[in-house]
Amino acid sequence: MSGPTRSFHVLFVCTGNTCRSPLAAAAFRAEFAPEGERITVESAGTSAFEGQPISQGSLEVAASEGIDLSSHRAHRVTRAQLDQADLVLVMEPQHRAALQMLGAPMDRVKVLSMWPEDREPALPVSDPFGASREAYEECWRRIRHHVRRIAPEVRRALLEREAS
């Protein structure tokens, strides 16, 4: 009998780690609650100010779904996080380029709206920072949509890992 399987590690990355990536991580955790101990989820930012709290708009839209993000604190993405992640989901192509500059394993870095197979680039996850409540709500809707859309891909990868 083999030892325990390493969890599948997903990292969400945006710019400041105060809006989109923490929302995406929360949506992903909610979607994958039954697989909880088998999946590790983190978020980070390419230009985050360490320790900054989540934006008020993100806090409110998550709370409207019963998700408490009040303890979230921003942090900048590290090379160690990139190396540990099985899948890195970024919000925009510019985030992918920034991670490439950090030496990220690019075969694991995908734009959320464009993976798998360039699926829905017309539904980008735009940064709502400083915008209206409606902008945060639309961002949250798109993130949840994309997380639900990619869930079968992630579950397939998890099953493949466990079978090997």
Structure-token match 């989109």, residue found: 20
- Check whether 80 has a pLDDT greater than 90: yes
The two tokens of residue 127 are 């940064």
pLDDT at 2: 47
Q: Which residue has the tokens 């599948």?
A: 8
pLDDT digits (tens, 9 = 90+) for 13-71: 999 999 999 999 999 999 999 888 899 999 999 999 999 999 999 999 999 999 999 99
pLDDT digits (tens, 9 = 90+) for 87-121: 999 999 999 999 999 999 999 999 999 998 767 67
| Beta-bridge partners for 11 | 42, 88
Ranges 56-60, 69-73, 122-126, 129-133: which has the least confidence: 122-126
Q: What DSSP state is assigned to residue 64? A: T
Confidence class for position 1, pLDDT limits 50, 70, 90: very low
Residue-level pLDDT at 29: 96
pLDDT of residue 5: 61
pLDDT at 162: 85
Beta-sheet strands, E only, within the chain: 8-14, 39-45, 87-90, 109-111
Q: How many Cα atoms are found within 13 Å in the side-chain-facing hemisphere of 46?
A: 21
pLDDT at 3 over 80: no
Q: How far, in Å, are 23, 84, 135, 164 from residue 19 at the CA level?
A: 6, 23, 11, 36
The catalytic site residues sit at 14, 20, 127
C-alpha distances in Å from residue 48, one per residue of 14, 66, 160:
9, 26, 34
Average pLDDT score over residue span 143-163: 93
Q: Please report, to the nearest 10 degrees, the dihedral formed by the alpha carbons of residues 84, 141, 119, 93 taken in order.
A: -60
pLDDT at 122 over 70: yes
Strands 87-90 and 109-111: parallel
What does the pLDDT read at residue 66?
96
- pTM of the predicted model, to two decimals? 0.94
